[in-house]
Amino acid sequence: MAVISRGFHGRARDKGHELPPGQYETTGFPVLSAGPTPAVSLDDWEFTVRTETGVRYRWNWQELMALPSETPTVDIHCVTKWSKFGTRWQGVSLDVLLENVESGAEYALVRSYGDYTTNIPVEDLLDGKAWIVHRYDDEELPAEHGGPARLLVPHLYFWKSAKWVRGIQLLDEEERGFWESVGYHDYGDPWREQRYQGD
């Protein structure tokens, strides 16, 4: 039996957009971190794709900037129950980065600067569904939101959109990431409310 706090509404939300089940709209942009914000200088930054056979593909910051970029505007859904509509990003589609990567792997483990990891099926990184983004709302992506660059996979719960992304390891067998190994769902589709293992 919940005790209702009269007059408490939380942040402004629910303006008639379609929300996944159990989600609430926020207009803010909460900062959720599972660890310290890594300091990554652009001189040292690199993004690596390593295949299941051990072949590595690398991009430094200048090389990333030289690739064609896109400006997706997407809704994002955090498993802590907030959703934010119409977020505007700029970055490089993973279709571009993975285009010439030789691999038959079905699974990916995304790694961040720091010790964060998350697992995603490779097909969910392709076909215009995922980006390495470096700008948010026409500004450089702030460090607390994952800058210099983060993964953006908006059709999955937002913990999959790893902040401070450093690389992707392609795998034949699924390997669980930071939150997935302590109960969060391997796939994490907000529309099917796949929050926890077994959902």
DSSP H or E segment with residue 62: helix 61-66
Q: Does 14 bind other proteins (CB under 8 A)?
A: yes
Stretch that binds other proteins, among 65-73, 90-98, 164-172, 175-183 (CB under 8 A): 175-183
Residue with tokens 């995922």: 130
Q: Does 2 bind other proteins (CB under 8 A)?
A: yes
Residue with tokens 């709302």: 137
CB nearer to other proteins: give 59 or 164: 164
Distance in angstroms (rounded) separating the CA atoms of residues 164 and 133: 10
Could you tell me which residues come within 8 angstroms of residue 142 by beta carbon, excluding any fewer than 6 positions away? 136
Q: Does 113 bind other proteins (CB under 8 A)?
A: no
Pattern 116-145, binding to other proteins, x per CB under 8 A? --------------------------x-x-
Question: Dihedral angle at the C-alpha atoms of 75, 80, 81, 83, nearest 10 degrees?
Answer: -20
Q: Which residues bind other proteins (CB under 8 A)?
A: 2-11, 13-14, 24, 28, 30-37, 79-81, 115, 142, 144, 159, 178-179, 181-184, 195-196, 198
